[in-house]
Structure 1
Amino acid sequence: MGPGKEANEESVILISDDETDAETTLGNSVVVIDSSDIQEDKSDLEEKKSEEIVDEESGLVVTFCKKGMVMPHARYDCMTHPFERTENETCIPVKQNSDMCGQCYCYVCDKLASECQYWTTSSSCHCNAHNKSKFWKDQRNFTLTGVLIIFNLEPAEIDTDLRHGGELLFKFLRELSIKYNNYLSGEIVLSLQDCVCPSKQTPGPCSVCSRLQNEVIYRYSDVFNLVSLFINKAEKEKPKTAAIMLLGAAREIALHKDPAQSWQNLGPSESLKLAVPFLMSRITKNLQRMLVLSDFPKQLYEKFISFFQTIPLPPYCFKFTNCLNIPSWDHRLLTTVLKGQNITGEQKKNGKKEFLWEVLNVVKARTEKMESMGRYKELVRYLKAVKCNEGVGLRDLRDKIPFFLCKSGDFTSAAYALLLPINNLACCTACRLIPLEFECYLKMFWTGSVPSGKDFQDSDEWILNVGSPVKCCTLIKQALRVLYNNQSLYRNSRCWSTLITILGSSPILEQNGLLTTLTLREPPSSFRQKNFWALKLFLEGLLYRMPVLHDVVSMITRDLNYQKNTLLKLWQTLGPDYVGELLCLFLSFRNSQLQSVGIFLSHVVIENLNQCPWAKSLDIFRLKAFKRPHLETANHLQLNKFVSILENL
């Protein structure tokens, strides 16, 4: 309201606090006190300030008065011009109702009466409006809310965002009406003169064209494009604005009718019965996310849902009937799940089982909301309990449960969660890990730190010491179980080297996520030269993978054959003990392919005795211990030949 103007100097204006007292104050919210009750002389007024003026009839006591200011007021409260109340007179101004002072406001338009375009307009006559008439109250609400009146919103609920949404929706509805009317008009795609079929033998249209002549085609594509652009625009607006836009658009397209008498084979955007469900799907998915992610006031939240439920959906949109029946965050079942009081997501209500069941779009939105707020423990409880119509999508979200547990600081539970199936799923999270995720998990378990981002890819910066790291023995056990459960990880050498790197690093992580390698003493030369245990462990692991073993043996034999000179020089340095250990290692296997490597090495010695003066010092008795049936027949014969040569040296 604008500032008030000064009143007549011969009166004082008092504004009543309660409009219900209007009947006791001459039907108005203003009380007039005659100036004769107040001393005009300034000096006398100063003396009378402490004196009281009492109105015995009304009980009003005035302890001090001064010249009043006429404040902005509704026309029916004006003390300068009398007002006559009527219920719904809109034809002509009643008596002096059209008169106004400078501070009179239009009750309907909520602006100065002098600025009201409908003050004395026939069929409107806002000068007759007052707050005791239901008709004028409805007129005021409609004027203030505009198109928002269809949402059953009170004027007090309408803020800037809602009003902006109403303005955009109103403009859209006018444009949509034009497009829809054009659609209903249709287009004639074939007439008598249009027939140019090659099979035509007589003048005029052929038999096929005769049936199709003057057929009207109804293409919905222009309406579809307009609604699509409006949805795109709504997606960029604030939540309240967007909700008004989307709900209004949903109501309008649901009311659209297909005037075609029979099915017309048109494209998905040209056929109304295909285009409307597609648009409705876009609209409802956006609304579902808004209802979950936006903090709408509870009353507004419920009004949005109620409005959608009143939309008369056509048969081809029946699947959207309950799509916005989304439990609010304070819903009892959802609350008990988030607090950990209900781990199954089931409860009995009126003797019937009730499940926490939500569509995937809502589950994703709730996950996004809780993740952004850092409510990881609640998020884990929710994902374990909720049920969904799309199993694969829900499984992908549940695969992040170990990551969310790490974010909450519970690294040990996360290590075990990798191998635990959720709700009897066919397999566990470990089966679907990729090398990057495996490496990231090992780093988190070892250091008790987590990436600062929302994904494994966002690992440039880490939050240190979120919780207690996993014990070394538990980490090794779970890491090996993951590797043996996931064949792609098992076959990836990077994963094995990552495990070794992690165990050889400090549990104190740098801010950028880099590990600090521990410094170890150099092992003795004997360990470095004769670490046959590692080779044996490697070869034993290949015994269960025969195709791989065959390839490895072929590569070893090929490389040894190419590097004979290098091999002989190395043996000259390492001596007979090393060569004997190497021969016995390969001959000790019961696999003929591995035995053949030992036989190949013996042939290298025999063929180069002049370069192997140490050969006579080989442990002949140990070589003789390898007898049949341990060795294959051919390998046994070759070994006997090698031993005989050594004995004759």
Structure 2
Amino acid sequence: METRCCPGGCQIVPVWNFVALWPSEKEEEEEDIILISDDDEVQCPDDDDEGGEDSTQGSSVVFVDPQEECPLEEKKSEEMVDEEGDLVVTYCKQASVMPHARHDCTTHPFERTESDTCSPLGKNAEICDQCYCYICDKLAAECQLWTGPSLCHCNAHNKSNFWKAQRNFALAGVLATFNLELLELDAELKHGGDLLEKFIKDLGVAYNKYLGGERMCPPGHECCCELKLPPGQCSVCSSQKMEVVYKYSDVFELVMRFLTQAEQESPKAAAVMLLGAAKQIALHKDPAMLKSCQNLGPTASLRIAVPILFQRITTQLQRMLVLCDFPKILHEKFVEFFQSISLPCHCYAFSNSLNVLPWDHVLLTTVLKGQNITGHRRQKGRKIFLWETLPVVEARVEKLLGKKKYREVVRYLRAVKCNENQSRLRDLRDLIPFYLCKSGHFLDAAHSLLFPVNSLACCSACRMSPCQFKVYLKMFRTGCVPSGNEVQETGHWVTAGSPLRDTVLIKQALKLLYSSKALYRNAKCWSSFIMVLGSSDSLEKRGQLHPLCLEEPPLGFQESVLAASGNFLEDLKSGVNVTLPSALFSGQLHHEASLILAGQAVQQMLCSDLPQLPSFLEIVLAFGKNFWALKLLLDQLSCEEHILCGTANLLLRDLSREKGTMLRVWQNLGPQYVGQFLCLFLTCRHKRMQAVGLLSLGVVTDNLHLCPWAKQLCTFFHESGLRQLPFGTTVHHEVSKFVSAFEKL
């Protein structure tokens, strides 16, 4: 709707385009009426042209003088209607004068200049009750610099860049050095600025003390006075040539405490504190830099301590620029502030520390989306590589893992390059197979364990621990993964995809064992291999594997599997690409076939690396209740006397050391398991294996108070006909003695 004017020349604005500030009934005697207009070109009727410029430009109000004849002064009951009938004024009251900046005051004229600070101009010092200081943002009567000789606030106005900068600095404090607009300042930034200002004051005191130095006796000239007066006050010491030593340690400790405090604050406050600290310590000079004889340690030397501080500051800022979702404009201003710091020569290495690629950078986004697997692209005829510092790499991985973007983590780690701490980058890349499992790509994970990221590195399997080996086999077997981002067996597990087939699982597991001697010679790895193959492909509620109790397969089937397994293991160990016969390992007896193959692989390992094997009891226990598979393994070992004796000796040593462990295992598995375990070894033809059974029986006999199920062993021995078997003299005597002891009860 267009604006109309009353006959008196006063502008009348449509009701929905202005806000009228109406006083109460008691304020009807005020002299002015205020109409707030949306038109920047409106002039007040009583304005003059002094100063050569429009004095109402930029004003927030329009004033109407009620002394002039105007229809608005008609009685309240009378109506004023314009000629076209578009606007009707039925009621009008005089307005109150609201708080305003001094340059907007209509009671007292104001003169504008760009940067006059020496003394008040004209009547600029005069104020009304509602005049506010443009710089301090408080009542002009309360401004202590209103007519100050050095910075006269009464001359301040909003049309001067100089006064705007002064206002920003007064309201923002130290944050003004960050080139932040007042509207960008929130509670976090102001809190960080307040802490930074206090730190700057404390730092100034500590730095001035450092510049004063400390007078000390030169080396070899210790003070011999008995009064132990401070340096310089003893006449004996004063006669010697005192040396001034500059120790930066106190300043270093002060800055370190401040950095620790900053790391506990909110991201915006922490960024302000870290950047402000960096600017302050970059200004510090070393008075002793020409005195090479002063060797006081890293924190006492400024030229060594300051780079240490900068390393901590830049590392934390790099992580924050990646992890914290700063607004783009704030992110850019933080980087610009750091780049504006004049670094000393001993800190030149940090010049480009905050040149961190934003998340929307073209090269980074194409890598994360899988459109660029090499990590480099051509730009203006030259190659640009995805190079990032290690803290940035770690922060990006942490951010992506927090969003469960596992495929993006894999693509990034394969493409990114880093000059520093290659071992740490290698550790991050070793988790690529785990992240592939988290995304449900178990076959890709199995392959990536055996293939390095680049030609200069070895595969992840070379550095895999036995516990990690077990976790990977468990994931491949069940299709489930740990809910967290660590390769660990404990905790909650969730389904991520389809598990590997038995033939693929066996092949990949054996490749891992053959690729690393540390894994190949570790009994825990072999026990994990056997246990996983002897378990179902579903997890229990607690995330544990469910062991299977399999019946012994036909003898002909066992012989077929043994024959196929021998050829398969030899070819696989030599690097030939070979597959298992699907007729044996994919049929109804695939679990039984897998256990037979596992026993055959253990036999080959014992024949080649028995002296390096630290234990064998774990392998025995891994078969669980499938004693037929364990017996088949022992029968295979009996073909070579020294291998069987060496294995029996390992078992005897393990049983002697792990009696408590065996009792706990037997308590959980029950007397049926213990009876089958004892019968397996007591009925062996080889005396060394019989000794294993006798030692196990002795453990039960010596700890009857811990074996409430021991009496049930007698029943098991009778039912199995153990007492009628033709044992050796020692075995028969011990079994009879054990049974007779319980028959007398």
Please report how far the alpha carbon of residue 267 of structure 1 lies from its aligned counterpart in structure 2 after TM superposition. Answer: 1.2
Q: Normalising by the residue count of structure 1, what TM-score does the alignment of the two structures yield?
A: 0.76
CA distance in 2, matches of 1:432, 1:302: 41
User: Against the structure 1 CA distance between its residues 485 and 211, is the aligned structure 2 distance closer, same or farther, given a 3 Å change threshold?
Assistant: farther
CA distance in 2, matches of 1:447, 1:259: 67
2:542 aligned with 1:542, yes or no? no
CA distance in 2, matches of 1:212, 1:384: 65
Match of 2:71 in 1: 37
Give the residue type in structure 2 aligned to 1:124: L
Provide, for residues 494-549 of structure 1, a one-character-per-residue CA deviation record: whole Å limited to 9, x for no partner: 32232233233332324531223345446689999xx9996877544433337468
Match of 1:134 among 150, 155, 161: 161
Q: Which secondary structure state, in structure 2, belongs to the residue aligned with residue 319 of structure 1? A: helix
Match of 1:288 in 2: 318
User: Against the structure 1 CA distance between its residues 523 and 477, is the aligned structure 2 distance closer, same or farther, given a 3 Å change threshold?
Assistant: closer
Provide, for residues 358-417 of structure 1, a one-character-per-residue CA deviation record: whole Å limited to 9, x for no partner: 111110011111111111111111000000112211110001111111122222211211
Give the residue type in structure 1 aligned to 2:165: D
Match of 2:436 in 1: 405
Identity %: 53
Give the residue type in structure 1 aligned to 2:475: M
Match of 2:135 among 108, 113, 123: 108
Contact 1:453 1:459 in 2 (8 A): no
**Stretch of structure 1 that moved more, 370-379 or 504-513:** 504-513
Match of 2:264 in 1: 236
2:391 aligned with 1:370, yes or no? no
Question: Gaps spanning 5+ residues in structure 2: where?
Answer: 1-19, 44-52, 225-236, 564-595, 613-639, 653-677, 690-725, 733-745
Match of 2:282 among 254, 257, 266: 254
Please report how far the alpha carbon of residue 347 of structure 1 lies from its aligned counterpart in structure 2 after TM superposition. Answer: 1.1
**Stretch of structure 1 that moved more, 68-77 or 342-351:** 68-77
Match of 1:11 in 2: 32
Please report how far the alpha carbon of residue 354 of structure 1 lies from its aligned counterpart in structure 2 after TM superposition. Answer: 1.0
Match of 2:478 among 416, 422, 447: 447
Please report how far the alpha carbon of residue 100 of structure 1 lies from its aligned counterpart in structure 2 after TM superposition. Answer: 3.0
Match of 1:163 among 181, 185, 190: 190
User: Against the structure 1 CA distance between its residues 532 and 117, is the aligned structure 2 distance closer, same or farther, given a 3 Å change threshold?
Assistant: same
CA distance in 2, matches of 1:404, 1:557: 41
Match of 1:125 in 2: 152
Match of 1:492 among 522, 528, 534: 522
Question: Gaps spanning 5+ residues in structure 1: where?
Answer: 55-59, 198-208, 562-568, 583-604, 612-649
Give the residue type in structure 2 aligned to 1:225: E
Give the residue type in structure 2 aligned to 1:43: S
Give the residue type in structure 1 aligned to 2:291: S
CA distance in 1, matches of 2:54, 2:223: 88
Please report how far the alpha carbon of residue 345 of structure 1 lies from its aligned counterpart in structure 2 after TM superposition. Answer: 0.6
User: Against the structure 1 CA distance between its residues 385 and 559, is the aligned structure 2 distance closer, same or farther, given a 3 Å change threshold?
Assistant: closer
Match of 1:145 in 2: 172
Match of 1:421 in 2: 452
Match of 1:586 in 2: none
Contact 2:101 2:134 in 1 (8 A): yes
Provide, for residues 127-166 of structure 1, a one-character-per-residue CA deviation record: whole Å limited to 9, x for no partner: 2211112221121122122212222222222222222222
**Stretch of structure 1 that moved more, 440-449 or 5-14:** 5-14
Give the residue type in structure 2 aligned to 1:115: E
Give the residue type in structure 2 aligned to 1:14: L
CA distance in 2, matches of 1:560, 1:236: 54
CA distance in 2, matches of 1:560, 1:418: 32
Please report how far the alpha carbon of residue 61 of structure 1 lies from its aligned counterpart in structure 2 after TM superposition. Answer: 7.8
Please report how far the alpha carbon of residue 429 of structure 1 lies from its aligned counterpart in structure 2 after TM superposition. Answer: 0.9
Contact 2:610 2:643 in 1 (8 A): no
Match of 1:460 in 2: 491
CA distance in 1, matches of 2:329, 2:557: 76
Contact 1:346 1:354 in 2 (8 A): yes
Contact 1:449 1:467 in 2 (8 A): yes
2:303 aligned with 1:273, yes or no? yes
Match of 1:304 among 334, 351, 364: 334
CA distance in 2, matches of 1:354, 1:536: 52
CA distance in 2, matches of 1:185, 1:526: 94
2:121 aligned with 1:94, yes or no? yes
Please report how far the alpha carbon of residue 431 of structure 1 lies from its aligned counterpart in structure 2 after TM superposition. Answer: 1.4
CA distance in 1, matches of 2:407, 2:562: 48
Structure 1 segment 303-452 matched on structure 2, within 5 A? 303-389=333-419, 390-452=421-483
Match of 1:179 among 199, 202, 206: 206
What is the aligned length?
549
Match of 2:92 in 1: 66
CA distance in 2, matches of 1:167, 1:211: 48
Q: Which secondary structure state, in structure 2, belongs to the residue aligned with residue 265 of structure 1? A: coil
**Stretch of structure 1 that moved more, 324-333 or 543-552:** 543-552
CA distance in 1, matches of 2:90, 2:535: 85
Contact 2:76 2:90 in 1 (8 A): no
CA distance in 1, matches of 2:549, 2:470: 21
Match of 1:189 in 2: 216
Q: Normalising by the residue count of structure 2, what TM-score does the alignment of the two structures yield?
A: 0.67
CA distance in 2, matches of 1:184, 1:143: 30
Q: Which secondary structure state, in structure 2, belongs to the residue aligned with residue 348 of structure 1? A: strand
Contact 1:192 1:213 in 2 (8 A): no
Give the residue type in structure 1 aligned to 2:77: S
CA distance in 1, matches of 2:64, 2:679: 122
Give the residue type in structure 1 aligned to 2:301: S
CA distance in 2, matches of 1:193, 1:345: 60
Q: Which secondary structure state, in structure 1, belongs to the residue aligned with residue 500 of structure 2? A: coil
Provide, for residues 161-203 of structure 1, a one-character-per-residue CA deviation record: whole Å limited to 9, x for no partner: 2222222111111111111111111111028996569xxxxxx
Contact 1:371 1:379 in 2 (8 A): yes
Please report how far the alpha carbon of residue 106 of structure 1 lies from its aligned counterpart in structure 2 after TM superposition. Answer: 1.6
Match of 1:585 in 2: none
Q: Which secondary structure state, in structure 1, belongs to the residue aligned with residue 538 of structure 2? A: coil
**Stretch of structure 1 that moved more, 271-280 or 438-447:** 438-447
Q: Which secondary structure state, in structure 2, belongs to the residue aligned with residue 347 of structure 1? A: strand
Q: Which secondary structure state, in structure 2, belongs to the residue aligned with residue 258 of structure 1? A: coil
2:270 aligned with 1:222, yes or no? no
Q: Which secondary structure state, in structure 2, belongs to the residue aligned with residue 460 of structure 1? A: coil
CA distance in 2, matches of 1:217, 1:526: 89
Give the residue type in structure 2 aligned to 1:514: Q
Give the residue type in structure 1 aligned to 2:608: Y
Q: Which secondary structure state, in structure 2, belongs to the residue aligned with residue 43 of structure 1? A: coil
Give the residue type in structure 2 aligned to 1:375: K
Q: CA RMSD in A?
A: 3.8
Q: Which secondary structure state, in structure 2, belongs to the residue aligned with residue 245 of structure 1? A: helix
Q: Which secondary structure state, in structure 1, belongs to the residue aligned with residue 452 of structure 2? A: coil
CA distance in 1, matches of 2:286, 2:470: 57
CA distance in 1, matches of 2:438, 2:429: 15
CA distance in 2, matches of 1:445, 1:558: 34
Contact 1:176 1:226 in 2 (8 A): yes
Contact 1:5 1:70 in 2 (8 A): no
Contact 1:254 1:313 in 2 (8 A): yes
